[in-house]
């Protein structure tokens, strides 16, 4: 009995040792799995933080884009008002020039003495030109004093351009030069013949009318 009991005891101890080793191995496997899960959780947390930062950046960009869109809309309204003022100024200039020479021609027709009527017409034309020029200059100065809030370069360019440049561009066109030519120039036949067009179809009003048509089409779309 004693040898058999000793053998059974040895077998039991061996089985316990094997079970202990198996439990140790299982414990190691569980720890490795736990570490893997922790690393996975840490990665998910980092991904979540990155996604949160990206979402916050997207929200800031969206808010900035909304502000930029709002500023663009305000600038568009300001530019439309500015364009309307430009149209009014150019229309006033064209109508003043047409009125000056129509009144001068009327004075020439009514006066008996051509030289005297020419002098009277010149005086009236100078006075009318001075008055209308003052009105147009005031309109251009008011326009330059309150420009639309565009980019800094556009503001500098608008502030550096003298108000006379608009008149220079207006008189540079051949059709406008014909329209505002003095009687002496007309008599000398130095102005090339150009078909007469209405005031609102002369440059730069013709270009402004095209811009107005494009604005109307864009608003309709």
pLDDT digits (tens, 9 = 90+) for 86-105: 888 888 877 777 777 676 66
Give the span between the Cα atoms of 213 and 121, in whole angstroms.
Answer: 38
Q: Are 138 and 93 in contact (CB under 8 A)?
A: no
Does residue 198 have a pLDDT over 90? no
> Is-contact 139 163, C-beta < 8 A?
no
Residue 202's CB is within 10 A of a number of other CB atoms, namely 23
Q: Which of 164, 194, 184, 14 is nearest to 93 (CA)?
A: 164
pLDDT digits (tens, 9 = 90+) for 24-80: 999 999 999 999 999 999 999 999 999 999 999 999 999 999 999 999 999 999 999
Greatest alpha-carbon pair distance for the chain in Å reads 165
**What is the reported pLDDT for 24?**
92
Tell me which of 85 and 124 has the higher pLDDT: 85
User: CA–CA separation, 180 vs 129, rounded Å?
Assistant: 11
- Angstrom distance (rounded) from CA 131 to CA 163: 16
pLDDT digits (tens, 9 = 90+) for 140-171: 666 655 544 444 444 444 444 444 444 444 44
- In this structure, are residues 136 and 92 in contact, taking their beta carbons and an 8 Å threshold? yes
Tell me the whole-structure pTM to 2 decimals: 0.37
Q: What is the pLDDT of residue 74?
A: 93
pLDDT of res. 65:
94
Considering only residues 204 and 54, tell me which one the structure prediction assigns the higher pLDDT. 54
């Amino acid at each position: 009995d004693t040898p058999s009991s000793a053998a059974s005891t040895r077998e039991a101890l061996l089985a316990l040792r094997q079970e202990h080793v198996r439990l140790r191995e299982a414990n190691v496997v569980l720890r490795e799995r736990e570490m893997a899960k922790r690393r996975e959780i840490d990665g998910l947390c980092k991904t979540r933080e990155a996604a949160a930062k990206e979402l916050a950046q997207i929200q800031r960009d969206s808010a900035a884009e909304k502000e930029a869109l709002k500023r663009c809309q305000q600038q568009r309204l300001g530019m439309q008002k500015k364009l309307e003022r430009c149209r009014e100024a150019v229309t006033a200039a064209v109508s003043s020039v047409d009125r000056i020479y129509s009144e001068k021609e009327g004075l020439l027709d009514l006066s008996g003495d051509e030289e005297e009527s020419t002098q009277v017409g010149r005086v009236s034309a100078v006075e009318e030109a001075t008055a209308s020029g003052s009105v147009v200059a005031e309109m251009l100065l008011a326009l330059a004093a309150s420009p639309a809030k565009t980019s800094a370069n556009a503001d500098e360019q608008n502030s550096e351009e003298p108000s006379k440049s608009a008149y220079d561009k207006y008189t540079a066109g051949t059709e406008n030069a014909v329209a505002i030519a003095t009687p002496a120039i007309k008599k000398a036949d130095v102005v090339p013949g150009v078909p007469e067009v209405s005031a609102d179809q002369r440059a730069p009003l013709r270009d402004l009318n095209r811009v107005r048509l494009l604005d109307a089409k864009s608003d309709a779309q």
